[in-house]
Each structure stands twice: as structure tokens, then as C-alpha cells.
Amino acid sequence: MQSPWKILTVAPLFLLLSLQSSASPAYNDLSRPSYSNGHTCVGCVLVVSVIEQLAQVHNSTVQASMERLCSYLPEKLFLKTTCYLVIDKFGSDIIKLLSADMNADVVCHTLEFCKQNTGQPLCHLYPLPKETWKFTLEKARRIVKKSPILRYSRSGSDICSLPILAKICQKIKSAIEQSVPFKDVDSDKYSVFPTLRGYHWRGRDCNDSDESVYPGRRPDNWDVHQDSNCNGIWGIDPKDGIPYEKKFCKGSQPKGIILLGDSAGAHFHISPEWITASQMSLNSFINLPTALTDELDWPQLSGVTGFLDSTVGIEEKSIYLRLWKRNHCNHRDYQNISRNGASSRNLKKFIESLSRNKMLDYPAIVIYAMIGNDVCNGKSDPVPAMTTPEKLYSNVMQTLKHLNSHLPDGSHVILYGLPDGTFLWDNLHNRYHPLGQLNKDVTYAHLYSFLNCLQVSPCHGWMSSNKTLRTLTSERAEQLSNTLKKIAASEKFTNFDLFYMDFAFHEIIQEWQKRGGQPWQLIEPVDGFHPNERKSVLLKGMLMTSQTLDNQEWTQLTSWVKGNLICDSRTREWLCCCLQIVSGRRCSSSGPKSWERRIRSTPRLNRCLETKAGTEPFRSMHPWGAQGGRGMGKLIPQLCGLLRHRPKGVSFSSVFAKCLSLNEEHIWMTVQCCVLLGSVTLPLFLK
């Protein structure tokens, strides 16, 4: 995914091009041939389209629609002022061209924000004019022939070149590139400022003048005198003289949540209201300054580290909020170390921004979720630029070694697999994009083609009409996921356990459809690529379902099952019964109800016997993970129904451990899937 946020930074106003340069070099591919700065071209086409459609919606002149657009923009970041400056410089020519029925593509090529270089294809969003492109462009140029605008040098438009702004621009650029807070007085990587990598991205600092005070650390002397870990708990209970931190948090095993991700993990989002003329109002751009200073990301709403309630009516909470609900001592202990354009290749450039001290801090759950950019790029031939399995293995091992040297003992790391992105074309290509809904003239297929032509597509491989290319991209994604499985299965580290989880794409869709939704509603409508808030929260909700065991229940189940590893003829007979039922035949075997009694005596485990012998669908996410067992997930519903038929003295795990010679970790994945009806990973972390 190329830095998609750059498009919108040039869209509201052409000469805020300085914001493009604030993107990290990790995002930019300098080896790619430039098509007259593709992001600038996209930004121009978006803005001119909005101006034209505002005039249409309000039955006004182009001049009035431009002024209307500027009036909607907030004063912050000088957005409104800059917009009026843009009108003053470009408005007269835009009026002439739109009044001559030239569309946004023609306008932007005429003003040279888009330019077709020699040997390059013609890139356009809208259908080509009825007359030839060459004739239309020459006609448009004659209209603005004497305009001083064409002599305007965009090379001097970078406001960061001004001496008065150079220093602050450099500091902002550094904050974005290094993924550390712009405002951090004590340099502990935590801030009291929300954006520019502040507390929208990691827990809010409660004392920005003391580097020893920050979220996630173990309390200093049980926080008798100050709140050293910013969880809001400190002081002494006057009734018994016991520190509140000790009373409430001792033995609760607090754990932080850390995400290493890309733009999906950062929750990249462009509001449809920003480009939909029929929905635009004074309230549309209220959040634009915040979005721009958060790189068009919304980590405060992400499915992993989000701390605000959903804005789209989803009941599920982020993983951080779920951890906080289970244990308030986890308050503010979250870090979203994600960046637009991040991948296994460039993570090393900003992983140093992760804040965790092996000796002073609590353990953490780290989710590695580079789900796109190792197969996604905007090149005209994207396949050679994809990460190979061998290179991914090397990159991930380097990351894991870094984590092992920084994470406290008792931490946990989840490697997240890559999705199958063919979903995008299959569900969106013939739907109208927000820019095309008014006149029914721009579909997502048109948008994808436009971005691919300019070589600024977030993922040419999946956002393509070429089915072969989409298939190749998915195949590479599967290869990389298998590599992550291999790492999780074979590598061991001293300070954390390692797990793998598939990207539960189809399960998310099924859950959303059960709620009456359509698959396309899970994708960001403006860029047609990123998972939106619904999908992000649903995905993490499935990762950490509320159907998990509490600490005492899990401990009881662990000691009980591990103490019953036996195998005899009765076990093999029961296994045969399993196979009969799996193959569709009935099994009359029955036995004492010791397992059933044990489950019914443990709250919530009783639900396992309420699945109608496995006839109800499971909300499972291929729990086999790193231990393999592809396809075995289909057997779980039937196996769970067999609990009441197992022979006396035979544990569920013993069948797999002794008779099928599977390792103990594999057994536990099986037991969890059957018993927990959903999440199969985080219960391990929370014990």
C-alpha cells in the first residue's frame, strides 16, 4: 500500500504539497517511473470533480461552488485560507474549462497537474470525451492559452521551504518517519498531545516531565506517592494502610497490547463526505485537521488499540478495551506501532519506536499484522516487487529477535496471516464509487484502472481486472502466510510465546451477513481497498470473543485434561466412532458421562454440550494455526458432539495425543476450539 494519505493532503488544496513530502521514504518507491507525480494528479481530479458536482447539486455557478467548498473547510491548519488562495490562483481557469464542458481529467491535464509523459499510457478516471483526447486537450489549452497559471512553478509551492516553517516541518516529518510523538517533553515515547503520533497511537502520558512515568510499567513502590504507570490507581487506602495499586492490581497479571501493523492496523480512513457533493455540509470537514495530523489514520478507533466507542454502531470493542474491561489495571497500556505503507521489509525503520522495558514493564501481547504490503504495490508489474517467502522469513525473524530483546518475560506474540484480496474486485468492481454515484459514471473498476495507470494504486495485484494477476497475488499471500505458520511452529523465544492466526476473512463476512449487511460494506468506500471500522472491529472481536474462560476455569480445565492422557482399545473404538460420524454415518457408541459432568460443573464450558451435537455452526478461525491440520476445522463440530459418547476414562486429548501422535500444542488447539466456540488463542494469553 503506497502512502494513500498523500492523495487527500493534496486534494483539499493543491499547494499543501508539503504534506506529501512528510511521508516516510519507506513508503515511496523512488525507482518507480513517475507519472507527473501521480498523487498530485489524483488530488486534482478529486477536487475538480467535487467542485463540478457541488455546482450540479446546488444548481449554482462554478465560482459559487468553489466558494462553497472553501466555506466548508475549517480554519485549523489554515485550510480555509489556503483554499481561497487556491481559488485566487486557479479558479478562473477552472471556471473556463468546466464551463466549456471539460471534465476533471481534461482540466487537470490542461493545468499540468496530470501529465502524459512520452511512452506512458493516458490515465483518466472518467470516460474519454467523444472527440479524440488530443483534440479535446488542444481545445482546452487554447481556452487558457494566455493564462499566467501555466507559468506557475510548482517547485516553489513547498511551504516547508520557508525559513520560518522549515524547523517545525522537519520535526513533524521526523515524528512521522520514526513513529514517535511530535510533542514528548521527557522523551519517554508517550505524549499528552493526541495527534502527530501522540496518545491516539499509544497510551496518554500522565507526567510528561518525568521519563520514569508512563503507561505499562510496573508500579514504583506500589504507586504510594504517584501514579507511575498512568492507570489512574495510586495512593494508600486510609482504612487499612494498603496501597490501592497493591490492593487492586497485585496478582491480576496486567498485560499491554501492542500492534505492529500497516495502514489497515492504523485504521486508514477517508470520509466519503469529503468527496461526496450531495452529502457535504459545514460539519463534513470538522475532523479533517485531526485526520491530516494523524496521517489520515484513526488509531483511536482501530480494532486493536482503539479506545473510543465505534462510530458505526458495532457493539464489539477493540482488544485494548476488552483487556481493560477484564482488568482496569491495563488502563492506557496500548501502543499502535503502525504506518501507512509498512511491511516486513521496512518495519525495522520504525520498530525502535516500540516502548517496552524488560525489567521495568509488564508483559505485553504483540500482534504482528503486516497484512498487505508484502504483496501489494503500485508498480505496473507488481509481481517481481512482492516479498518472497525466504525474504519474509528473514525479515520476521529479525523482528522477533528485536522483540525478544525488549519484551518482558511472559509476553505473547501473534503472527497474523495475509488475507485473500480477490474479495475486492469480486465485490466492488461494478459498484459506483462515491464520485460516480451522482452521475453514474465512475465505478470501482474505473478507479482501480486510474490508480494502476498512475502507478499509485495501494495494491495493483488485487485491484486489477486481470484475473490471473489477482490469482497470483493471492497465491503469494498464501505462501507468505504459510511462512508465518512455519515460523510460529518451529521457532522458540525466551521472553514470549509465539502463535499464528489466519486472517478470518470469510468468517467476518458470514458474521456481517448474519447481521443483515452486505460484503462490500466492510471496505472503505473512498479508496476501495482498506478494511473499514466494521471489519476491523469484527475481526478483532472474533480474535478475542467474549466466550473465553476466566483464569480459574482455564486452570481447572488444564490440570484435568493433562492428567488423563491414556489410550487403549476403547479409545480406538471411540475414534472409529468419530470417523463414522464425520463421514456422515451414525454412531451408537455411548459411555459414562464423566466428561459431560465435568463440563457441566464448570460455567460456560456447559455451552459445549448445547451445540446440538455439532449441528450449530462454529465461529472458529482455523485454530490449527502453526501446528498445521488444514481442513481439520471442519471436523470440530462433529467431534464436539461426540463428547457425550466418549468411553470411560478416555480424555478428548488422549485420542489425538496417543492414537494420532500429535503434539501437545496441537491437542490444546483442538480442545480450545471445541470448548470455547470461537477464540482459540487469547484465552492462553489471559491465564
d(CA 139, CA 102): 10
Q: Could you count the other beta carbons within 10 Å of the beta carbon of residue 126?
A: 18
CA distances (Å), origin 84, targets 54, 105, 107, 158, 419: 16, 22, 19, 17, 43
Q: Taking Cα atoms as reference points, which of 305, 232, 236 lies closest to residue 266? A: 305
Q: What are phi and psi of 2, to 5 degrees?
A: -70, 160
d(CA 90, CA 12): 13
Beta strands in 112-218 (DSSP E): none
d(CA 339, CA 177): 9
d(CA 98, CA 111): 12
d(CA 503, CA 622): 9
Residue type, 421: G
Q: Taking Cα atoms as reference points, which of 496, 31, 18, 551 lies closest to residue 327? A: 551
CB-based contacts of 147, cutoff 8 Å, min separation 6: 92, 93
Residue owning grid cell 494519505: 5
Q: Taking Cα atoms as reference points, which of 449, 528, 464, 467 lies closest to residue 121? A: 449
The three cell numbers locating residue 145: 492559452
Question: Which three-class secondary structure state does DSSP give residue 233?
Answer: coil
Is 653 assigned a catalytic role? no
The three cell numbers locating residue 652: 478428548
Q: Among 3, 49, 263, 620, which one carries the catalytic annotation?
A: 263
Q: Could you count the other beta carbons within 10 Å of the beta carbon of residue 223?
A: 24
CB-based contacts of 366, cutoff 8 Å, min separation 6: 258, 259, 260, 403, 407, 411, 412, 413, 414, 496
Burial pattern 78-99, b for ≥16 Cβ within 10 A else e, equals ebbebbbebbeebbebbbbbbe
d(CA 111, CA 113): 6
In sequence order, what DSSP letters do the residues of 26-86 get, joined into one string? TT--TTSPPSS-HHHHHHHHHHHHHHHHHHHHTT--HHHHHHHHHHHS-SGGGHHHHHHHH
d(CA 19, CA 22): 5
d(CA 674, CA 513): 24
Residue owning grid cell 515524528: 175
Q: Taking Cα atoms as reference points, which of 230, 202, 183, 500 lies closest to residue 337? A: 202
Residue owning grid cell 490469482: 471
d(CA 525, CA 119): 32
CB-based contacts of 574, cutoff 8 Å, min separation 6: 589, 591, 642, 645, 646, 647, 650, 655
User: Residue 531 gets which letter from DSSP?
Assistant: B
Burial pattern 40-59, b for ≥16 Cβ within 10 A else e, equals bbbbbbbbbbbbbbbbebee
Catalytic residues: 263
